[in-house]
């Protein structure tokens, strides 16, 4: 396999709650319009990533995964295991829930455990307040008072929110988030703020399915406490979150550094800010603000060469 930092054409979703921050903040060459989500790296039929650089240019992620398997991912998989997005919530997203692995297998649905990194300050709803029971939940839904039962969390840039399957949640208006999740698009919508779509019809709710997968014992704080792994004058490395499905780290550096090789895993990098070069086994690619890169599992050396201080998120398998 030819090793280099692989870039993909983002897939944009124009859900009714989206805005234009993706254009404004990351200066993407797009016409004016609604851009709710940018699927940065995705192996799904409804949003398939296509390589934009190097020898694999115009190849889909599905084909790349089929041909290279362990060399790309680190293990054999039928599909690329993660989906990475940017979410721009000009309006509230629906209050919703996803199944976890156990629930998904029981009801025949794709599990979806995810996490958010706040790219700006904003607000999210995540998890029940202590003491919420299934009976209180049902009554609140019937009386249009569900929001009162949920944790409201004000996030600052750099905060991380963990959203395992079964945790009720919503992204609130004004939030801009980087999201990493299992490769799944299973969403059970519980409440949609009484709004209508472009056809003036309310969007479907999935109360029966949601009730099957909601975790009513989930009172943990969704905001994650990070762990500082390295702290020098020029470089900081921070472990943001470890889950059974993915790890999320942050790197801040103003000097050339090598990134530690992951055992049996690719690495995904998202440039929060800064510019320079990202290098995999001596093959370099321009490092740009707001861009995502995939380095294959077989890469022996990965290097970040910033022009000045830059900050990146790093995603890998556990």
**Separation between Cα atoms, residue 150 and residue 95, nearest integer Å:** 10
At 181-215, the pLDDT tens digits run 999 999 999 999 999 888 888 999 999 999 999 99
Q: Which helix (H) or strand (E) holds 106?
A: helix 101-107
How far is 83 from 183, CA to CA, in rounded Å? 5
288 C-beta neighbours (distance < 10 Å), count: 17
pLDDT tens digit string along 244-280? 999 999 999 999 999 999 989 999 999 999 999 999 9
Distances (CA, A) of 230 to 161, 163, 259: 22, 26, 12
Give the DSSP H or E segment for 72: helix 70-73
Q: Which domains does the chain have, with CATH numbers?
A: 11-213 (2.60.120.10), 227-316 (2.60.120.10)
Query: Global pTM?
Result: 0.96
pLDDT beyond 90 at 283 = yes
Q: Which residues contact 4 (CB under 8 A, 6 or more apart)?
A: 53, 54, 55, 280, 281, 283, 284, 285
What separation in angstroms does the CA of 291 have from each of 94, 269, 278, 288?
27, 8, 11, 6
Residue 216: pLDDT band by 50, 70, 90 thresholds?
Answer: very high
Antiparallel, parallel or unpaired: β 47-48 and 283-287: unpaired
């Amino acid at each position: 396999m030819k090793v280099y930092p692989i870039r993909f054409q983002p897939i944009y979703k124009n859900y009714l709650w989206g805005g234009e921050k993706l254009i404004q903040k990351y200066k993407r060459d797009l016409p004016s319009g609604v851009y709710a989500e940018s699927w940065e790296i995705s192996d799904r039929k409804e949003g398939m990533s296509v390589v934009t650089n190097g020898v694999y240019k115009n190849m889909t992620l599905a084909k790349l995964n089929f041909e290279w398997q362990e060399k790309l991912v680190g293990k054999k998989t039928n599909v690329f295991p993660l989906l990475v997005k940017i979410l721009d919530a000009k309006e509230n997203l629906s209050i919703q829930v996803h199944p976890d692995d156990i629930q998904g297998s029981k009801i025949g649905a794709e599990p979806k455990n995810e996490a958010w990194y706040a790219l700006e300050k904003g607000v999210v709803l995540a998890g029940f307040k202590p003491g919420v029971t299934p009976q209180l939940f049902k009554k609140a839904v019937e009386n249009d008072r569900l929001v009162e039962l949920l944790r409201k969390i004000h996030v600052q840039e750099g905060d991380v929110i963990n959203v395992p399957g079964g945790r009720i949640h919503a992204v609130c208006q004004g939030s801009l988030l980087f999201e990493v999740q299992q490769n799944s698009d299973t969403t059970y919508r519980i409440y949609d703020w009484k709004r209508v779509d472009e056809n003036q019809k309310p969007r479907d709710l999935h109360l029966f399915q949601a009730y099957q997968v909601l975790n009513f014992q989930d009172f943990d704080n969704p905001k994650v406490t990070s762990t500082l792994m390295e702290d020098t004058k020029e470089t900081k490395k921070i472990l943001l979150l470890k889950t059974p499905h993915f790890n999320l780290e942050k790197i801040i550096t103003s000097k050339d550094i090598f990134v530690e090789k992951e055992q049996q895993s690719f690495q995904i990098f998202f440039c929060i800010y800064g510019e320079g070069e990202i290098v995999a086994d001596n093959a370099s690619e321009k490092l740009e603000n707001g861009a995502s890169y995939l380095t294959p599992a077989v890469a022996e050396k990965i290097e970040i060469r910033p022009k000045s201080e830059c900050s990146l998120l790093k995603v890998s398998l556990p």
